[in-house]
Amino acid sequence: MPLPSSVTVHAPATIANVGCGFDVLGLCLTAPYDTITLRRCEQPGLTITHLDDYHLPTDPTHNVAGAALLALLREVPETLGFEVEITKGIRPGSGIGSSAASAAGAVVAANALLGNRFDNKQLIDMAMYGEAVASGVRHADNIAPAICGGFTLVRAVQPVLDVVALPAPALWVAVVHPQFEVKTKEARAVLPTQVPLSLAVRQWANVGGLVAGFLTQDFELIGRALDDYIVEPARAALLPGLGDAKKRALAAGALGGGISGSGPSIFMLNKDEATAHAAAEAMGAVYQKMGIAFHLHVGPIATQGARVVNF
């Protein structure tokens, strides 16, 4: 059968770090998502159009989707061209994987037009070039769940990419996105360059405990293991309302949570939908009282990452 000439993909938001797992753990959300349409064209190269109001760069070398697609094109023998249309449903700088969604969705769409010749590991590696444009670092903690879905562990990026896709229990995620921006580069700049061994040991124990909790569906263990002793304390000053929002969500029944990615979004994991809505409303009340506009997102951990919705 002939390959399609155009494809549309929905690329979802993601939670990176998942508390204690800085740069190594991630999980996929059902919404919000970016919508990306790719069309093959006779002219070599990339033409990028944004159908949203964020005024993002359209030069492929400075656009996260463009950088990811350029990496993909370097791996194919054909001379190809793509027209790319992006509608961002995930606000840039939100902390829920906006750049990763565009980069992941672009390579998943291109792969569909090429007969799915690349596997998930290869797509993750290509999409990481988009993250380098956004933050200066080729990290995969958002990219991996955006492509694989579910819960992912990035065991290594160098010298060889090693990503483990893990089954996720049927947890619900509550996210509050206060409407101010925390740039990833700025959030990385405040991180400590040295960590006391005692804190590192506690952090390692929590990463192991969190992965074990997901694998065994031990919700209480998940709640105990989410605490971040290193990164969140360093970034807390960038996120007014963080401590109060977490405290109120826990009082509403949430298992635990923390900063989503580099912020400003805050996530909380929950046993069921009703608790997730209660936790979201509790966090929203904090920002309402502070006079800061916010968006709430509630949904289960998504089992599927970026997906084709139309040829």
Decide if 149 contacts 163 (C-beta within 8 A): no
Residues 28-37 have pLDDT tens digits of 999 999 999 9
Q: What is the pLDDT of residues 242-275, one digit of tens each?
A: 999 999 999 999 999 999 999 999 999 999 999 9
- Kindly calculate the radius of gyration of the chain based on its CA atoms and give it in whole angstroms: 19
Q: Which two tokens stand for residue 203?
A: 């952090």
Name the percent of the chain lying above pLDDT 70.
100
Burial 114-149 (b: 16+ CB within 10 A, else e): beeebebbbbbbbbbbbbbbbbeebbbbbbbbbbbb
At residue 1, does pLDDT exceed 70? no
Maximal C-alpha separation, the chain: 59
**What is the chain's mean pLDDT, rounded?**
95
Q: What is the pLDDT of residues 82-107, one digit of tens each?
A: 999 999 999 998 999 999 999 999 99
pLDDT at res. 185:
76
Residue 11 has pLDDT above 80, yes or no: yes
Rounded Cα–Cα distance for residues 291 and 289 (Å): 5
The pLDDT value recorded for residue 140 is: 95
User: Distance (Å, rounded) from C-alpha 130 to C-alpha 137?
Assistant: 9
Query: Is residue 4 predicted with pLDDT exceeding 90?
Result: no
* Residue given tokens 């502070």 in the structure block: 290
3-state secondary structure of 276: helix
- For residue range 210-243, what is the model confidence (pLDDT) as tens digits? 999 999 999 999 999 999 999 999 999 999 999 9
- State the average pLDDT over residues 190-200: 94
- Of 148, 116, 145, 109, residue with least CA distance to 308: 109
Architecture of domain 6-166+303-310: 2-Layer Sandwich (3.30)
Opening angle at CA 176, ends 172 and 179, nearest 5:
155
CB atoms within 10 A of CB 227: 17
CATH (one of 2.170.120.20, 3.30.70.890, 3.40.640.10, 3.40.50.10860) for 172-300: 3.30.70.890
Look up the pTM and report it: 0.94
DSSP string, 135-172: HSS---TTHHHHHH-SEEEEEE-SSS-EEEEE---S-E
DSSP of 208-255: HHHHHHHHHT-HHHHHHHT--SSHHHHHGGGSTTHHHHHHHHHHTT--
Residue 225 CB neighbour total at 10 angstroms: 24
Question: What's the rounded mean pLDDT across residues 44-64?
Answer: 95
Percent of the chain with pLDDT over 90: 88
Position 73 scores a pLDDT of 95
| Residues belonging to the active site | 131, 184
Per domain, the residue ranges of the chain are 6-166+303-310, 172-300
Query: Among candidates 52, 58, 142, 130, which has minimal Cα distance to 96?
Result: 142
| pLDDT, tens digit (0-9, with 9 covering 90-100), for 95-153 | 999 999 999 999 999 999 999 999 999 999 999 999 999 888 888 999 999 999 999 99
CA–CA separation, 254 vs 301, rounded Å?
15
Q: How many CA atoms lie within 13 A of 27 on its CB side?
A: 29
3-state DSSP assignment of residue 113: helix
Q: Running DSSP on this structure, what letter comes out for residue 53?
A: S
pLDDT given at position 167: 87
For tokens 């109060």, name the residue. 244
Structure tokens at 91: 């606000």
